[in-house]
Amino acid sequence: MRAVVASGLVKRFGSLEVLKGVSFEVDESEIFGLIGPNGAGKTTTLRILATILRPDVGDAIIMGHSVRDEPDRVRRIIAYLPEDAGVYRHLTGLEFLSFMAEVHGRGRECIKEGMEIAGLGDALRKPMGSYSKGMRRRIILAAILMLRPRVAILDEPTSGLDVIHAVHIRRRIRRFVEESGATVIVSSHNMFEIEYLCDRVAFMSGGRIIAEGRPDELKAEHRAQNLEEVFAKLVEAA
């Protein structure tokens, strides 16, 4: 079954057309990556899927529900991590996880899972205002994944993180999918990271998808060592 079907998404901001007919499909229990340079349209696409933006043309169906016509139903089955997500600085990490569990009607097992996902140990009892950027990303990601959404939409989840924090987050995303059967859509400009995380990827450039497929298939097709080389060849041929 298709978890997400995006069809002909067009989005304009004034006279600027940011998305120019974006279409793709994502299977259930798949990690799907949107990759490309800044300004390619990745974040705009994810915000449409998360029902934050409404497409000017086209639609996206998430687990059978339209983002245009049924945004409330879509919001019940997704979770969205924006690139610039902030934290309640005066709350401890544990208080934050407890708050998120209570808001969504979840119990102690949910909180315990969030604590394990975050992997912050005693720091969970400290105010989040004292956290590093890596720690903040880990606690926010934990709050999202512990709720077990059917579709998780993650915008640059490891942006600005050091290698250790980035590896931790990638492993947690993969484990989340394996354990829950959920679907993950993730954006990044880090093509090496996406290559190791995603089952399938779509390259975006100038508001369009210019190629899509499994990382190994794309590399073989373009005789490239990695996805960065694939993208360079695609841009050169365009």
Question: Residue 207: which pLDDT band, with cuts at 50, 70 and 90?
Answer: very high
Per-residue pLDDT, averaged over 203-210, amounts to: 95
Q: For the segment 2-38, what is each residue's pLDDT rounded down to a tens digit?
A: 999 999 999 999 999 999 999 999 999 999 999 988 8
Q: For the segment 144-203, what is each residue's pLDDT rounded down to a tens digit?
A: 999 999 999 999 888 777 888 888 888 889 999 999 999 999 998 888 888 889 999 999
Q: Is the pLDDT higher at 219 or at 190? A: 219
Domains of the chain: residue spans and CATH: 2-85+149-237 (3.40.50.300)
Q: For the segment 88-140, what is each residue's pLDDT rounded down to a tens digit?
A: 899 999 999 999 999 888 888 999 999 999 989 999 999 999 998 889 989 99
Q: Are 217 and 227 in contact (CB under 8 A)?
A: no
3-state secondary structure of 147: coil
Give which of 10, 55, 76, 49 is closest to 184, Cα–Cα: 49
Do strands 151-155 and 183-188 pair parallel, antiparallel, or not at all (unpaired)?
parallel
Strands in 65-66's sheet, in edge-to-edge order, are: 16-27, 2-13, 57-62, 65-66
Taking the CA of residue 30 as centre, how many other CA atoms within 13 Å lie in the half-sphere pointing to its CB?
16
Question: In which element (H, E) is residue 202 found?
Answer: strand 200-205
Per-residue pLDDT, averaged over 53-69, amounts to: 97
In angstroms, the CA 174 to CA 141 distance is: 13
Enter the tokens of residue 57: 């043309």
The pLDDT assigned to 167 comes to: 86
Radius of gyration of the chain (CA): 18
The residues facing 151 across adjacent strands are 78, 183
The pLDDT assigned to 84 comes to: 78
Question: Residue 236: which pLDDT band, with cuts at 50, 70 and 90?
Answer: confident
In angstroms, the CA 218 to CA 229 distance is: 10
| DSSP line for 32-88 | EEEE-STTSSHHHHHHHHTTSS--SEEEEEETTEETTT-HHHHHTTEEEE-TT----
The pLDDT assigned to 34 comes to: 95
The pLDDT assigned to 238 comes to: 66
**Backbone dihedral region of 36: left (phi > 0), alpha (psi from -120 to 50 degrees) or beta?**
left
